[in-house]
Copies of this chain bind each other. A is one copy, B any other.
Amino acid sequence: MAETLIKVDLTQSPYENDKVHNRWHPDIPMVATVKPGDDFIIECHDWTGGFIKNDDSADDVRDIDLSIVHFLSGPIGVAGAEPGDLLVVDILDIGTLADSQWGFNGFFSKKNGGGFLTEHFPQAQKSIWDISGLYTRSRHIPGVSFAGLVHPGLIGCLPDKKLLETWNARETGFIATDPGRVPPLANAPFAPTAHMGRLKGEARDGAAATGARTVPPREHGGNCDIKDLSRGARVYFPVYVDGAGLSMGDLHFSQGDGEITFCGAIEMAGWLHLKVDLIKDGVAKYGIKNPIFKPSPVTPNYRDYLIFEGISVDEQGGQHYLDVHVAYRQACLNAIEYLKKFGYSGAQAYSILGTAPVQGHISGVVDIPNACATLWVPTEIFDFDINPGSAGPTKFLKGDVAMPLSPDL
């Protein structure tokens, strides 16, 4: 068995594990070094470091301090990696930890980050998903079960100083355009809750003050939340610092395109089995700005979909110019209305779109003024038939299963 380079103890705070960090900064020390061709195992906390519990209350989702996320394992040094190289990462496998066969999904209160449909679902809600081998099912959302498209929501290499400065300038400048906004436009560096891994003392404090938050995807990859970066995939990451410094976390048992529920996919602790290699000077050779990747040959092969369309006219009839974000929101709302006809609550339907392997396609982006987005819901994941028919929908669910909700205090 490949060596486990980073272990996590789920009974312990991730702040106590110095092979974990929650900010991006070039000075975070490597915690292990591997050679090109090596394979190894990395364990990860869930993105909140255990804050969200396997219970039937959404209080934790309501109350979480989001400045603590995401707890990443790493950085892993790769011998010989230099700026400008491409780090080739094979995701050989991903799995759950033996003592943690479950994951969570939820939506934050609008006051605490919200989610894609926060205007429609403004309060904190949560669902717990039990994992049984390849499959998952939730006690809070009946009638649906699916095979996981397991993946790291967040993975990438350390930025160099220049890239970090670009990020900070870009995002703090953006926040400055509307500093009082709730939720904020972006998250500025925030030292109090920073976990800088093995960086200590003054160096730590300086880096904590400028370390980039882990929330957005950026040039290096990072929190891309791409469901198809799943076990079996191969990713090519740009390298910015000597040794590359690969970190990862935010493991998802499954996620729909967009991760629309924000908290988040089916979030879990777990492990990755990785193999690394290098393409020397690959960034220039292939003209790479963001990571590229190849999908796995082994993914859930759902084929029968019901597809919902949305256009860039908002819920109030307002016109938006080729806005795919608005169009996708309409497609999601259309799907939720449809699923409610079978007995789901709106929140349950929303959760299904956030967790199941639904696809979100950018279908048309040139037919002014409307963008068109499509949302693909696999019909095979339901215990009953959700296809349209002349008799109309059957209300299979009685509505007696509720999804935990915690009103704002």
Contacts and interface: CB of A to CB of B under 8 A. Distances in A.
Interface of A: 1-2, 39, 86, 88, 91-93, 98-99, 101, 115-116, 132-135, 147, 166, 170-171, 173-174, 183-187, 215-219, 221, 223-228, 231-232, 236, 257-262, 264, 273, 275, 277-282, 285-311, 313, 317, 319, 321-325, 328, 330-331, 334, 337-338, 340-341, 359-374, 376, 380, 385, 387-390, 392-393
A398 to B, nearest CB: 19
A174 B369 contact: yes
A237 to B, nearest CB: 11
Given A88-B388, A322-B325, 16 more contacts: A93-B134, A116-B366, A147-B296, A217-B372, A218-B311, A223-B367, A225-B372, A258-B365, A285-B341, A286-B392, A287-B334, A292-B309, A298-B299, A301-B301, A323-B323, A362-B373
Contacts of A184: 368
B298 A300 contact: yes
Contacts of A166: 317
A168 B185 CA distance: 33
A216 B370 contact: yes
A226 B287 contact: no
B217 A324 contact: no
Contacts of A323: 323, 325
Given A92-B132, A92-B133, A93-B134, A307 B294 contact: yes
Contacts of A218: 311, 313, 370
B286 A341 contact: yes
Contacts of A88: 388
Nearest to A88: B388
A187 to B, nearest CB: 7
B321 A324 contact: no
A185 B368 contact: yes
Given A134-B232, A301-B298, A369-B216, A363 B226 contact: yes
B262 A174 contact: no
Contacts of A313: 170, 218-219
A334 B289 contact: yes
Contact of A147 (B259, B288, B298): B298
Contacts of A232: 133-135, 147
Contacts of A273: 132-133
Nearest to A186: B369
A321 B325 CA distance: 10
Contacts of A147: 232, 296-298
Given A174-B369, A224-B372, A362-B360, A305 B301 contact: no
Given A216-B369, A309-B290, A364 B319 contact: no
B219 A311 contact: yes
Contact of A86 (B287, B388, B393): B388
A217 B369 CA distance: 9
A143 to B, nearest CB: 15
B259 A319 contact: no
Contact of A217 (B297, B309, B360, B380): B309
Contacts of A92: 132-135
Contacts of A101: 1-2
